[in-house]
Structure 1
Amino acid sequence: MTPSHFVGAVQHLAVAALGPVNTLGARGLAGNTAPPSPVGSTHGVGGNHSTNSTLQTALQTLRKDVQTIELASGTTVGQLTAIKVAFRTLATDGLTPSSRSALSSFENGLVTAYVSGTTLAGDATLLSQFEAIYTSSPTTQQTTDLTTAYNALAAAVTSSNITSTDITTLNTDWAAVLAASNSTSTATFPYFTLVTGQGISACNGPMAF
Structure 2
Amino acid sequence: MIRFPFALAVFLAACMTAQLSAADAHQGFYEIHLELSGTSPTSERPENLAMPAMHAKANVPFSIDAGGILPRDPQFDGPPLETGMRLAGILRPNANGQLQLQATLRRSEEVENDAGVTIVRHDSVDVRMTLQGAELDPQLAAIQPPKGRMIKLSETRSLIIRVRPVSRDATAGQPIAIPSTAPLPVN
Q: What range is the shorter-chain TM-score in? A: 0.3 to 0.5
Report the TM-score when normalising by structure 1.
0.30
Report the TM-score when normalising by structure 2.
0.32
More strand by share: 2
Larger Rg: 2
Using CA pairs below 8 Å that are at least 6 residues apart, which structure has the higher relative contact order?
1
